[in-house]
Structure 1
Amino acid sequence: MSHTPNMQSALGNGLTSRQVTMISIAGIIGAGLFIGSASAIATTGPAILISYALAGVLVLLVMRMLGEMAVAQPDSGSFSTYASRALGPWAGFTIGWLYWWFWVLVIPVEAIAGANILHAALPAVPAWLYTLAIMFLLTGTNLFNVKNFGEFEFWFSLIKVVAIIAFIAIGVMAVTGYWPLARLSGVSRLWDHGGFMPHGGGAVLSGVLITIFSFFGAEIITIAAAESKDPGQQIRRSTNLVVYRIALFYLLSIFLVVSLVGWNDPQLKEQGTFQYVLKTLNLPGAEILVSAVVFIAVCSCMNSGLYTASRMFYSLAQRGDAPQAGTRVSAGGVPRVAVLCSTLAGFAGCVANYAFPGKVLDFLLSSTGAIALLVYLTIAVSQLVMRHRLERSGQPPEFKMWLFPWLTLFTIGIILLVLGYMFFSPAFRYEALMTGAVTVIILMLSFFVTRRRTTQSRGALRPQPRAVQTMR
């Protein structure tokens, strides 16, 4: 697949500073925090705070490494492009398609989750019709102008941030005894039910594996910033904000959850983390409020997933690793073919879910288990290689990774340790094997495409016979 530049082959810069800033602030707030955190708490107990802290530190270090590369060379392909430059085309091909695969499977999951929320509120309309409506609406926001995506995501993000801050305010009042509707206050539930680590220290690592995927999406800012007017400044500012977002949105909110309700309360998983906490605090209309916020979070995640998958497809096409049609860009700077390809994959996931409920989509999702860790590993190794190259050339980066190379090597070691744990842990082995199988398939495709491209290049360079050269 060779790439021939189009007349319109560059993305626009339609994302404003306020849109990029809000996307970066709320990019890691998804349904995984509002609902999925209940599973993490049940697995680990109050020690889930350690799991979130460890996962947060890992994400902070990875984002700093990615920020170093992205500030120097903003690109819609982000870490996939950097992997190609640092490790070779096979690495960019593999991690780019794995990342695309992850997000196109997230799209139908989020659409179906949003449809179920609407169906529960208005059961007269079938759930599949809600799914189609959500898919068509958010596809439309991504097809015509990047400003549409940015504006939708700005308001989605603002609602999520306001909801989290409101929850934290209520939680702090309840813990300190100033919430008039609460029957109990204090933080005794942190050790009341079997202690702070009821399942032992090993469960903390299992908690990291569950929580790491809640943070996945923080890297979207380096993709989105490439379509803003000052990408370097946006990436630098957003990367510096990561530590505050993790501390406020995850650590503080989850601390309040495990302080206010028992970690082993079955209602926590059945009703959802935030919803159950607010119900125990007797907040009027808690169920409706949280359902509305979760619906917004689901739509936000799907909107971001569609945007991210399309930009990765576009970047792969630019490098000749996806069909050339993916490089076509509209007058508004939108890669419409890339958007449509990603949307069609999402629609296929929705059809599979309704045609074979609980089978095909669940099977496909199990292949995404370790992709976040593989992406983080690729970022760390790419930064290690590119930084050494820059220093040898006498051009150190403006925005630097801390304590290089020691923190980079430490991060690589931690990621390899966690991946190893996945393969040896019965609870995660199947997901790890599925992810590994998909990775091997994509690697094989990578070698095939790379070899074909090399063969074509050699053929083009080979001297032509004289008879052909002199033809008129």
Structure 2
Amino acid sequence: MTSAQVAKEHEGGEGNRPEEGYERGLGSRQVQMIAIGGAIGVGLFLGAGANIAKAGPSLILMYALAGVIIFFIMRALGELLLYRPVTGSFAEYSREFLGPFFGYFTGWTYWLMWVVTGMAELTAAAIYINYWFPGIPQWVTALVFLIVLFVANLISVKLFGEIEFWFSMVKVTAILGMIVIGLGVLTLGFSQAGDTAAVSNLWAFDGFFPKGVGSSLMTLQGVMFAYLAVELVGVTAGESDDPEKTLPKAINTLPWRIALFYVGALTVILCVVKWTEFADEGSPFVKAFEVIGIPAAAGIVNFVVLTAALSSCNSGMYSTGRMLRTLAENGEAPRVFRKLSSTKTPALGTGVSVIFMGIGVVLNYTVPEKAFGYVTSVATAAGIWTWLMILVSHVRYRRAVVAGRLPSSAFPAPGGAKLSWVAIVFLLFVTGLIAYDADARVCLYVMGGWYVALVIGWSVLKRRDPQVTARRREPEFEKL
């Protein structure tokens, strides 16, 4: 019996609790664009500039290397999604293959990741608006964005998907435009950059690794932040109208998305503009447009980055509400979060998450600028934990398949568990780099405090309802 047949046979049963009641309102077009948009964010539009200053042209290799690992992670997730497509997939697979505590920890940590990301992105969006309207108080703009996106998430999942579709279209169009214009400069020599633009810029100024391999490796933590949210397609599983077709298609397009939007865009930019001209702050896209001589370059990129920030916040609201409902379904969050609104959205869970994001707006308004970097580093650490849980769950699933306890997924990952182990080692290496960096390691302290808080919460759950903490989700196919 195939995974699709089993899922259909058990539809509405215990195994499908986390997605019960949701509207399958995300079509192929929307899932595809959510997947594309998830790979393009502020980490590329802004963060790449500082990393170019640290690593030079070798940053292209770092994005390519990390992109390969991200593909391994997504193929592992894809195999699990076709085994059992559910909303809140990361927590569900951790619960099933590693035990209830890991499901609890992963669900709450993914919620934390999106809440702190929402805090940062809302504040960033307000700053971007100040570029055009400096007289508007920052907190007013942030509050308006918070309310508008919250209302959109409450109306229906279709509206969320449509907003995310157009946000992603803006980002994709901007990058494609940069690539086409850059290639025109390189091949035809037009624009103010025509005399200095050349492929040789990739090695002509102190080589491909101008500051050494070590400096290049230290940029991996920032590179991994840029890839946060690619796993969002897994959260959409329970609301995709045809997950067995849309999810594999979305995941299989990841290599060309990474090759085009990250490796391709950075390669063109670093051919058009010498890496030595990039500073620790500022967008590489703004710099490239300015060197080429495009009018209003800063305004164009500012609009695109604003879109990227709002897209990230929109996705955060979507994810947090659904993850809280998954936790509530398993008794790991207040039961009230199980309820869906009349439009089949987890309105209360999304609302509570929005309140926490709003607190972040107030805090970011009063703290120094360095706080933005701290918040994003916490999001990266939480994201690495999520990716690790996906990989470890995949390894355990593959063992069950080999042992004959579970049938193969309709979308098996190439290389089986071997490539998941490669990705696990890589993520642990990046964690070590974070610990080595004095500025970034603060996120590990925060995650340590988060772990203590969740352990305390687990102890409270254990006293109130021993069955919740003792329950390990029974794999769907072991019941047949």
The two structures have a TM-score, normalised by structure 2, of 0.89
Kindly indicate whether the alpha-carbon contact (under 8 Å) linking 1:310 and 1:338 is maintained by their aligned counterparts in 2. Answer: yes
Kindly indicate whether the alpha-carbon contact (under 8 Å) linking 1:170 and 1:179 is maintained by their aligned counterparts in 2. Answer: no
Question: Which one of 183, 207, 213 corresponds to residue 201 of structure 1?
Answer: 213
| Aligned residue number for residue 73 of structure 1 | 84
Aligned residue pairs: how many?
Answer: 453
User: Residue 431 of structure 1 aligns to which amino acid in structure 2?
Assistant: C
More off after superposition, 138-147 vs 189-198:
189-198
Kindly indicate whether the alpha-carbon contact (under 8 Å) linking 2:117 and 2:379 is maintained by their aligned counterparts in 1. Answer: no
Instruction: Note closer, same or farther for the CA distance 1:16–1:429 as it changes in structure 2 (3 Å cut).
Output: same
| Aligned residue number for residue 429 of structure 1 | 441
| Aligned residue number for residue 393 of structure 1 | 405
| C-alpha distance in structure 1 between counterparts of 2:116 and 2:468, whole Å | 33
Matches within 5 A, 1:52-63: 52-63=63-74
Secondary structure of 2:212's partner? Answer: coil
| Aligned residue number for residue 256 of structure 1 | 268
| C-alpha distance in structure 1 between counterparts of 2:436 and 2:46, whole Å | 27
| C-alpha distance in structure 2 between counterparts of 1:149 and 1:361, whole Å | 26
Task: Check if 1:133 corresponds to 2:144.
Answer: yes
| Aligned residue number for residue 230 of structure 2 | 218
Kindly indicate whether the alpha-carbon contact (under 8 Å) linking 1:71 and 1:232 is maintained by their aligned counterparts in 2. Answer: yes
Structure 2, unaligned runs of 5 or more:
1-13, 471-480
Shift of 1:448: 3.9
| Aligned residue number for residue 187 of structure 1 | 199
Task: Check if 1:18 corresponds to 2:38.
Answer: no
User: Residue 422 of structure 1 aligns to which amino acid in structure 2?
Assistant: I
What does the per-residue CA deviation read over 1:383-415, in whole Å, with 9 as the maximum and x for residues that have no partner? 010121133225111111111232122222222
Question: Which one of 42, 62, 75 corresponds to residue 64 of structure 1?
Answer: 75
Kindly indicate whether the alpha-carbon contact (under 8 Å) linking 2:51 and 2:280 is maintained by their aligned counterparts in 1. Answer: no
| Aligned residue number for residue 155 of structure 2 | 144
Instruction: Note closer, same or farther for the CA distance 1:365–1:413 as it changes in structure 2 (3 Å cut).
Output: closer
Shift of 1:422: 2.6
Shift of 1:203: 2.0
Secondary structure of 2:413's partner? Answer: coil
Report % sequence identity. 33
More off after superposition, 441-450 vs 235-244:
441-450
| C-alpha distance in structure 2 between counterparts of 1:99 and 1:449, whole Å | 19
Shift of 1:186: 0.9
Instruction: Note closer, same or farther for the CA distance 1:199–1:363 as it changes in structure 2 (3 Å cut).
Output: closer
| Aligned residue number for residue 299 of structure 2 | 288
| Aligned residue number for residue 180 of structure 2 | 169
| C-alpha distance in structure 1 between counterparts of 2:51 and 2:156, whole Å | 38
| C-alpha distance in structure 1 between counterparts of 2:215 and 2:225, whole Å | 16
What does the per-residue CA deviation read over 1:403-443, in whole Å, with 9 as the maximum and x for residues that have no partner? 12321222222222222333244453333333233234324
Could you say what the CA RMSD is over the residues aligned between the two structures, in angstroms? 2.3
Task: Check if 1:417 corresponds to 2:417.
Answer: no
Kindly indicate whether the alpha-carbon contact (under 8 Å) linking 1:55 and 1:208 is maintained by their aligned counterparts in 2. Answer: yes
Task: Check if 1:41 corresponds to 2:52.
Answer: yes
Secondary structure of 2:188's partner? Answer: coil
| C-alpha distance in structure 2 between counterparts of 1:152 and 1:192, whole Å | 43
Matches within 5 A, 1:328-407: 328-358=339-369, 365-391=376-402, 392-393=404-405, 395-407=407-419
Kindly indicate whether the alpha-carbon contact (under 8 Å) linking 1:318 and 1:324 is maintained by their aligned counterparts in 2. Answer: yes
| C-alpha distance in structure 2 between counterparts of 1:270 and 1:425, whole Å | 19
Kindly indicate whether the alpha-carbon contact (under 8 Å) linking 1:23 and 1:154 is maintained by their aligned counterparts in 2. Answer: yes
Question: Which one of 288, 311, 314 corresponds to residue 303 of structure 1?
Answer: 314
Structure whose alpha-carbon radius of gyration is higher: 1
| Aligned residue number for residue 463 of structure 1 | none
User: Residue 351 of structure 1 aligns to which amino acid in structure 2?
Assistant: V
| C-alpha distance in structure 1 between counterparts of 2:465 and 2:175, whole Å | 50
| Aligned residue number for residue 120 of structure 1 | 131
| C-alpha distance in structure 1 between counterparts of 2:38 and 2:73, whole Å | 15
More off after superposition, 115-124 vs 357-366:
357-366
Kindly indicate whether the alpha-carbon contact (under 8 Å) linking 2:114 and 2:320 is maintained by their aligned counterparts in 1. Answer: yes
| C-alpha distance in structure 2 between counterparts of 1:216 and 1:364, whole Å | 13
Question: Which one of 238, 241, 266 corresponds to residue 229 of structure 1?
Answer: 241
What does the per-residue CA deviation read over 1:32-58, in whole Å, with 9 as the maximum and x for residues that have no partner? 111111112112111101110111011
What does the per-residue CA deviation read over 1:206-234, in whole Å, with 9 as the maximum and x for residues that have no partner? 12111011111011011123212111211
What does the per-residue CA deviation read over 1:115-169, in whole Å, with 9 as the maximum and x for residues that have no partner? 1111120122212111111111111110121111111111111111111111110
User: Residue 15 of structure 1 aligns to which amino acid in structure 2?
Assistant: L
